[in-house]
Structure 1
Amino acid sequence: MLTGERRVKLLDAIENKQFISVSQLSEIFQVHETTIRRDLDELESQGLVVRIHGGVVPASIKQDEPVFEDRATENITEKTRIGKYAAKFIKSGEAVILDSGTTTLQIAKTLNEMPQLQNITIITNDVNIASVLRSNRSITTIVTGGTLFHDSYMLNGQIANESLQQFSVDKAFIATPALNVEKGLTHFNELLITTKKNMITAAAKRIVVTDHTKIGRRALYTFLPINKIDLLITDNQTDKKLIDEMYKNGIKSIESV
């Protein structure tokens, strides 16, 4: 097989698998790992793949997330609108999980503007959300504990996971860096998805809140299939074709605000 032909097929294999190791590619194409590494170097220089520890992923897969300060101001109008709309789904007497994120932070801010709500319990792994709710006497705020991630102010890890496993709540509002039509909610960091899965398991209803820039993207690790989302709340700039495709793939309900 000629080098150019092999690299085309190599890229196809990577796109199909999403993640594949150098040794697996070597077996598939029956060439030495050194040859595969040269091919991957060339594909990476063209911006087609990204080398990560243990293998390679397509460049289309989201690899990281900006720090909180950058995300907090990005698409703030849309996030605020989503947060205000999402807060309406919280009723007096309910127990609710608010995932760490800049859009869920807007939900917390809106709750402070809703004095009619009484006897609410908010469980969160987000230091910023807890701080926003600290003076609200109508809300009991429970912080999961865990390891603090300095770039996002989220709490994660074993302590957070063990804490979340104790709860059974009415609703969980879940944030995501990427929502892929076929793969569902995806995340770039394997270490962070267990906490999200525990939030999802704890909730009777799963509500995803995310702006249009996250929809259509994908990251390496799926943590919630699209047909398990009870409600997606997004903004009105979300591509209508993507909305139609999400319905076809089993999402239960979508609100564009």
Structure 2
Amino acid sequence: MLTDERRFKILESIKEKQFVSVNDLSEEFSVHETTIRRDLDALEEKGLVARIHGGVIPSNVKKEESPFDERQTENLAEKKRIGMYAAEMIQDNDSVILDSGTTTLQIAKHLTGRKNLTVITNDINIATVLRKNRDIKTIVTGGMVYHDSYMLNGMLTNDALKNIFVDKAFMATPAFDLRTGLNHFDEYLIPAKKEMLLSAQQIIVVADFSKIGKKALYAFWPIEKIDLLVTDTNVDGETIDSLAAKGLSVEQV
């Protein structure tokens, strides 16, 4: 196999699998790992792939999330509209999960006039917003504090969520892939998110346009298991049609 042909096929393999190791590629193409590394260097120089610890991913895969202070102001108008709309879905006597995130924080800010509402969250920012509302019972999961975002995560968080059952879970995500669904760049944050998703009768994802159609390293929840996506009007019609074809209801606000 000629070098250019092999590199083309390597790129196709990486795009399909989203993450592969040098050893995997060496076995797949029956060449030495040194040859694969040269091929990957060439592909990386062209901006087609990105090298990470343990292997390689497509260049369009999200590798890390922006700091909280940056995310809090990014697309703020869209997040406020999404948060206001999602808050209207929460009724008196509901029990809900608000996942840690800047869009779910906007939901918390619009939760006024509710009676006998229970909110479970792994986000100190959200708990702080809700603390003055005596009509809302706020339950904080516990766990290790992520100082840049005030998110709680870890074994204590996961254990707290295992025996909780709620009406609705409002989930944030750094990347919503049109094929694989919810994606995340950090494998250590996924267990808590899965526990939230498993605990809810209705799963609602809140995400602005910048997250839709994006990939991250780990896919952890399929589109078919999501009840509703609330996003903004910047998402194009073709993308909405693609999601609808998978049975996902989408509200644009």
The offset of 1:21, in angstroms, is: 0.9
Distance 1:147 1:33 in 2: 40
AA aligned to 1:132 is V
Distance 1:210 1:90 in 2: 17
Q: Is the 8 A contact 1:96 1:123 kept in 2?
A: yes
The offset of 1:4, in angstroms, is: 1.8
> Which portions of structure 1, spanning 4 or more consecutive aligned residues, are displaced by more than 3 angstroms?
none
Distance 2:227 2:124 in 1: 26
Gaps of 5+ in 1: none
Q: Is the 8 A contact 1:92 1:118 kept in 2?
A: yes
Distance 1:15 1:152 in 2: 31
Q: Deviations over 1:199-252 (max 9, x none)?
A: 00010000000001111111121121101111111111111110000011221x
Aligned equivalent of 2:133: 136
Match of 1:186 among 183, 188, 195: 183
AA aligned to 1:119 is N
Secondary structure (helix, strand or coil) at the match of 2:20 reads coil
Secondary structure (helix, strand or coil) at the match of 2:110 reads helix
Distance 1:167 1:239 in 2: 36
Aligned equivalent of 1:256: 252
Aligned equivalent of 2:64: 64
Q: Is the 8 A contact 1:83 1:103 kept in 2?
A: yes
- Between the aligned residues of both structures, percent identity stands at 59
Aligned equivalent of 2:19: 19
TM-score by length of 2: 0.98
Aligned equivalent of 2:117: 120
Aligned equivalent of 2:218: 221
Aligned equivalent of 2:235: 238
Match of 1:154 among 151, 155, 167: 151
Secondary structure (helix, strand or coil) at the match of 2:24 reads helix
Secondary structure (helix, strand or coil) at the match of 1:103 reads helix
Secondary structure (helix, strand or coil) at the match of 2:170 reads strand
Distance 2:235 2:149 in 1: 25
Matched positions, count: 253
AA aligned to 2:160 is S
Distance 2:57 2:37 in 1: 13
The offset of 1:77, in angstroms, is: 0.2
Distance 2:155 2:221 in 1: 20
Q: Is the 8 A contact 1:181 1:249 kept in 2?
A: no
AA aligned to 1:248 is A
Q: Deviations over 1:121-141 (max 9, x none)?
A: 100001100111111101111
Q: CA RMSD in A?
A: 0.9
Secondary structure (helix, strand or coil) at the match of 2:115 reads coil
AA aligned to 2:229 is L
The offset of 1:9, in angstroms, is: 1.2
Q: Is the 8 A contact 1:182 1:249 kept in 2?
A: no
The offset of 1:198, in angstroms, is: 0.3
Q: Is the 8 A contact 1:174 1:209 kept in 2?
A: yes
TM-score by length of 1: 0.96
Task: State yes or no: 1:39 paired with 2:50.
Answer: no
Higher deviation after alignment, 121-130 or 53-62:
53-62
